[in-house]
Structure 1
Amino acid sequence: GWIEVVGVASSGEEAVRKTRSLEPDIVVMDLAMPGMDGVQATRRIAALDLGTKVLVLTIHDEDGFLVPAMEAGAAGFLNKSAADTDLLGALEAVARGHSYLPRRAAALIARRKAIEASRNTKGIEALSERERRAIELYAKGFSAREAAREMLVSPKTVEGYIARAKAKLSLDNRRDIVRFALENGLLQTEE
């Protein structure tokens, strides 16, 4: 008896409007609605800053819907097929401030985060063998022409390697490159 339905909305716009006027603790949001979709409505409700939690109810537990809904501020995600058995548990979890995710959804989000993290690490792994060598020589003070002789390519090619490496690693100048080379063991400091 702890649940009271205070309002029902049939569109995203109406959901946002009613949330603003009724200030419910939880909104159970359908993603597939006419007009403003559930993801947009969730974002708007989160932006109202009323502390209203959004539990998304959907037939899609696919990556394409899940991540945008979570990023929009949804506190939980429930597949409609599981709603009969899991809705109360989901509402309870969300009411307590926990996020509620089906196992598969949690795995999807973890995988997505891991992929993003690996994209953001601007490490030496991002460089090709040639780019790494060009950076190493450049950091040691070689000119493009000297590095080209060493690598048996044209100076223009060396400049290309260096430009690509700088772009990949967000490095601006020789000082940045020297620091990067030191941090990544490309320059063996003389004992």
Structure 2
Amino acid sequence: MVRALLVDDHAVVRAGLRALLEASGRAEVVGEASSGEEAVRKARILEPDIVVMDLAMPGMDGVQATRRIAALDIETKVLVLTAHDEDECLLPALNAGADGFLNKSAADTDLMGAIEAVVRGHSYLPRRAAELIARQKKQRRGAGEEPEPLSDRERTVIELTARGFSAAEAGREMCLSRKTVEGYISRAKLKLGLANRRDIVRFALESGLLRPEAEE
């Protein structure tokens, strides 16, 4: 049973989401929040498996709240659920540490599947995600910007991921939590414009972090 915290400043939306999740029989709503500040506070106290996060809220918005939750030393995932255009919201949400992104128009059919995928450690992103990341990378190059350098830990998790380590296995290798490792992976992918594990392997080979098996 997935433990979920619902965050939206509209009570009617939270009620609808609660009914949807509880009807599935696969999720338990352990809390609700109507603001970003409340979401961070309840995430710290409840440590749910997942936070279903709206973006547009007064005060601390969903992007800021996601960043704060991602920085907590807990295993909680964040799935952004918004009615806003993904072209505008996707990259800021991912940069903040979101693990998945779903448009509210698809919530009635896809929400539970998105939650379960994210809780299992997978990213749940729209098909346009790779295109948007690639576009951001192209724009940076066109503007003459160098890619933001990876930190030592980001380079290590990229190397371990390319070698086939799961986030949990990489965490044990580095004495870090799985959540922390996944945060490093997400930030590294955004810095480099990578969309998936195949891109990570290619980058690791091209940069020398990983050598082809024939050379090892």
Answer whether TM exceeds 0.5 for this pair: yes
- SS of the equivalent of 2:92 reads helix
Q: Which has the larger radius of gyration?
A: 1
Contact 1:93/1:99 (<8 A) preserved: yes
- SS of the equivalent of 1:71 reads helix
Q: 1:85 matched to which residue of 2?
A: 109
- SS of the equivalent of 1:48 reads coil
Stretches of structure 1 that go unaligned for 5 or more consecutive residues are 123-191
Residue type matched to 1:59 in 2? A
CA distance in 1, matches of 2:87, 2:115: 22
Stretches of structure 2 that go unaligned for 5 or more consecutive residues are 1-24, 148-216
Contact 1:61/1:105 (<8 A) preserved: no
CA distance in 1, matches of 2:66, 2:99: 10
CA distance in 2, matches of 1:111, 1:43: 23
Structure 1 position 60 matched with structure 2 position 84: yes
Label 1:95 to 1:121 Cα distance change in 2 as closer, same or farther (>3 A): same
CA root-mean-square deviation = 1.8
Q: 1:17 matched to which residue of 2?
A: 41
1:63-110 Cα offsets, whole Å, 9 max, x none, are 222111100000000001111111011101101111101112332123
Q: 1:108 matched to which residue of 2?
A: 132
Q: 2:69 matched to which residue of 1?
A: 45
1:159-182 Cα offsets, whole Å, 9 max, x none, are xxxxxxxxxxxxxxxxxxxxxxxx
Q: 2:100 matched to which residue of 1?
A: 76
Q: What is the Cα deviation at residue 50 of structure 1?
A: 0.5
Q: What is the Cα deviation at residue 121 of structure 1?
A: 5.3
* Mapping for residues 95-174 of structure 1, pairs under 5 Å: 95-116=119-140, 119-120=144-145
Instruction: Compare the two structures and name the one with the higher strand fraction.
Output: 2
Q: What is the Cα deviation at residue 62 of structure 1?
A: 3.1
Higher relative contact order (CA 8 A, sep 6+): 2
CA distance in 2, matches of 1:44, 1:121: 27
Q: What is the Cα deviation at residue 113 of structure 1?
A: 2.9
Superposition TM-score, scaled by structure 1 size: 0.59
Q: Count the aligned residue pairs.
A: 122
Percent identity between the two aligned chains: 77
Q: What is the Cα deviation at residue 45 of structure 1?
A: 0.2
Q: What is the Cα deviation at residue 115 of structure 1?
A: 3.2
Q: 1:6 matched to which residue of 2?
A: 30
Superposition TM-score, scaled by structure 2 size: 0.53
